[in-house]
Structure formats: structure tokens, C-alpha cells
């Protein structure tokens, strides 16, 4: 079917309900929540925009032909789209409960749950659904640390998801943050992260990619959180809080591949994509492609 026809599920995966019992390799859940953004809104529309763009990468049962290896990839991958969390409009605490509940339900059905934000605050309730994963590590690819205690009088904004997770989840052992930059860093947050032993890698230490990869966790259960503002906004402008001089697409894919090959990936989110700032539509396409690259890295390395 042509990519501009039919009803949009992620990569044209069969739609499944979290109210029913089934199992699959991977499942995609939208979290259309953006009232915790500190700047330009719109990420609530990202799950729908990414689904629509993903039809360009609709996955045939015979898989994708790979030019590099001359073989089919992701053959018979069982991918499901479970739709979006049904969120209240103005009850953030109830929203967090529903996000956690849906994330837990998806986790019980698939090997790799994939979450489409939403702003980055959604990673906190999602991570609460991973509170029983032994020795949990997080790899966060982001221009920002998101480890602030309180900003603009709230503890639950997109600046704080990993601070809240670190307080809440006794199984959360370590966070590696890659791509840090900008002039708005929070000194207290940096010190708090460092005192917990987190690995903080600013963009100016990322020229030598092999050296960066050697600092990634190894042999761990890893939750990977990808904030699209890690990308260079020149080619990925559709985000709330862009910072110049970010990652290329190729570098981001290499980091995801290295994280997935060295560890057991237990969950993945892509957050902060803001379709109303995507005048070319390219950002939605690149977001969908990055999720496809993640599936390739996990299921067909
Ligand atoms: Mn973030
Ligand atoms: Mn960010």
C-alpha cells in the first residue's frame, strides 16, 4: 500500500489493545502529553505525526532488503501499535498514573516497549513501570541533563524526569547522558548527578565516538531515552528547546547501535518532537526512521 493511503499505525503494524492478552516482539505506545514543557508546546501531536511519517517505512513481513549486507532484515518481526494513553486534559497526577499503568501493561506483552512522547516529563511515569528491572541503567541522549530538582515551581516538568526517577526507583543504578550543551545548565542538577556517579558527556567530548562508546554501560539492563533536541536543529528543527551544534543522524544511530549491542535494551522512548515546528515534515520522517533503526539494532544487529 502506498505510504499516503490507509489508516496510520506505526510502520503499518497491526493495532492491538492493552486490554487484551497477546505477546509480540515490540510494541509502540503514544504518550501525547506536553503540558510540562517549559517552552514551545506541540509535542502532544508527535505520536500522530510520527505514525503518519512511519508509513514511509512500513515493515513488510519479508523484512527490509539491506544494501550493506545484501540480506533481508527484521524478517517476521512481530510489531504492534497499541495506540495512545488516554490522558485527561488538566490533571497531571492522573496523567502520570495512566502513563505508568499503560507502560506496565505494554511491558508485560513485548520484549521491547517503544514510547512516543510527548515532552520529556513522560519518561518519569514510564520509568516507574520499570521499577522491578534488576540493576536498571539509563542511557539518555539529550542536549539537556533533565536532572533539575525544581524549575518554575514544579518538580515534574521536562527538566526533572530523571531526578524524580532517581529518587523513586531503588533499582535505578546509573544514568549516562550524552550530547549535553547549551548555556542554561543547572549547577545544582549537575552536581547532584555527579555526586550519584552519573556519566555526563558534553558534546565537545564527542568527537572521538569510539571513546564515547567505551564509556557506555556494558552487560546491563538499559532503558534508552532519546530527546530529539540532541540532534542538530539544522536538520531536525521540530523540537521545543533546540540547541545549536548537535548530533548528526549517523552519530545518533551509532550510539543507539552501541548501546543495544553492549546491553539488554528493556525500553525506549523518543520525546520532545514538536510537529507544529516541522515545516518540511522531515523531522517526523527522521524520528520514525530513528525508531526503525532502533528496532534494527535490537532485533537484527
Ligand atoms: Mn530532555
Ligand atoms: Mn532536551
**CATH, range 23-299:** 3.40.800.10
pLDDT at 61 (0 to 100): 85
pLDDT at 222 (0 to 100): 98
Ligand 2 centre to CA of 276 (Å) is 17
pLDDT at 38 (0 to 100): 87
pLDDT at 289 (0 to 100): 98
By the CB criterion, residues less than 5 angstroms from ion ligand 2 are 142-144, 227, 229
pLDDT band at 299 (very low <50, low <70, confident <90, very high): very high
pLDDT tens digits, residue range 11-47? 999 999 999 999 999 999 999 999 999 899 999 999 9
pLDDT at 260 (0 to 100): 98
- pTM of whole model > 0.75? yes
Across residues 138-152, what is the average pLDDT?
A: 97
Ligand nearest to the CA of 157: 1
By the CB criterion, residues less than 5 angstroms from ion ligand 1 are 120, 142, 144, 146, 227
Ligand 2 centre to CA of 64 (Å) is 32
pLDDT tens digits, residue range 180-232? 999 999 999 999 999 999 999 999 999 999 999 999 999 999 999 999 999 99
Q: Where are the domains of the chain?
A: 23-299
Ligand 2 centre to CA of 240 (Å) is 8
Ligand nearest to the CA of 243: 2
pLDDT at 73 (0 to 100): 95
Supply the mean pLDDT for the chain. Answer: 97
pLDDT band at 284 (very low <50, low <70, confident <90, very high): very high
Ligand 1 centre to CA of 125 (Å) is 14
Ligand 2 centre to CA of 60 (Å) is 33
pLDDT at 301 (0 to 100): 81
pLDDT at 46 (0 to 100): 98
pLDDT tens digits, residue range 97-142? 999 999 999 999 999 999 999 999 999 999 999 999 999 999 999 9
Ligand nearest to the CA of 39: 2
Rounded to 5 degrees, φ, ψ at 248 are -80, 165
CA torsion sign, 147 to 152 to 156 to 157? negative
pLDDT at 234 (0 to 100): 97
HSE at residue 9, side-chain half, CA atoms within 13 A, is 16
Provide CB contacts within 8 A for 93, sequence distance 6+. none
Ligand 1 centre to CA of 286 (Å) is 18
pLDDT at 116 (0 to 100): 98
Across residues 78-93, what is the average pLDDT?
A: 96
Amino acid at each position: 500500500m502506498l505510504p499516503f493511503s490507509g489508516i496510520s499505525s506505526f510502520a503499518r503494524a497491526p493495532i492491538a489493545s492493552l486490554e487484551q492478552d497477546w505477546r509480540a516482539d515490540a510494541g509502540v505506545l503514544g504518550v501525547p502529553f506536553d503540558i510540562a514543557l517549559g517552552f514551545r508546546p506541540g509535542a502532544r501531536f508527535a505520536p500522530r505525526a510520527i505514525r503518519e511519517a512511519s508509513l514511509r517505512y512500513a515493515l513488510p513481513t519479508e523484512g527490509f532488503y539491506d544494501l550493506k549486507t545484501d540480506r533481508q532484515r527484521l524478517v517476521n518481526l512481530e510489531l504492534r501499535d497499541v495506540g495512545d494513553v488516554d490522558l485527561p486534559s488538566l490533571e497531571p497526577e492522573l496523567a502520570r498514573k495512566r502513563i505508568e499503568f499503560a507502560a506496565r501493561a505494554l511491558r508485560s506483552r513485548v520484549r521491547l516497549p517503544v514510547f512516543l512522547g510527548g515532552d520529556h516529563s513522560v519518561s518519569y511515569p514510564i520509568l516507574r513501570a520499570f521499577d522491578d528491572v534488576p540493576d536498571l541503567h539509563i542511557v539518555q541522549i539529550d542536549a539537556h541533563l533533565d536532572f533539575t530538582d525544581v524549575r518554575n515551581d514544579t518538580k515534574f516538568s521536562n527538566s526533572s524526569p530523571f531526578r524524580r526517577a532517581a529518587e523513586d526507583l531503588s533499582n535505578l543504578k546509573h544514568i549516562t547522558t550524552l550530547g549535553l550543551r547549551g548555556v542554561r545548565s543547572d549547577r545544582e542538577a549537575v552536581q547532584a548527578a555527579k555526586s550519584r556517579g552519573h556519566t555526563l558527556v558534553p558534546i565537545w567530548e564527542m568527537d572521538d565516538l569510539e571513546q564515547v562508546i567505551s564509556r557506555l554501560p556494558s552487560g546491563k539492563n538499559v532503558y534508552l531515552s532519546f530527546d530529539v533536541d540532541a540532534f542538530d536543529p539544522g536538520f531536525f528543527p521540530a523540537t521545543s528547546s533546540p540547541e545549536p551544534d548537535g548530533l548528526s543522524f549517523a552519530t545518533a544511530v551509532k550510539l543507539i547501535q552501541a548501546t543495544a549491542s553492549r546491553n539488554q535494551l528493556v525500553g525506549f522512548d523518543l520525546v520532545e518532537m514538536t510537529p507544529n515546528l516541522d515545516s518540511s515534515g522531515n523531522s517526523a520522517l527522521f524520528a520514525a526512521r530513528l525508531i526503525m533503526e532502533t528496532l534494527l539494532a535490537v532485533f537484527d544487529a
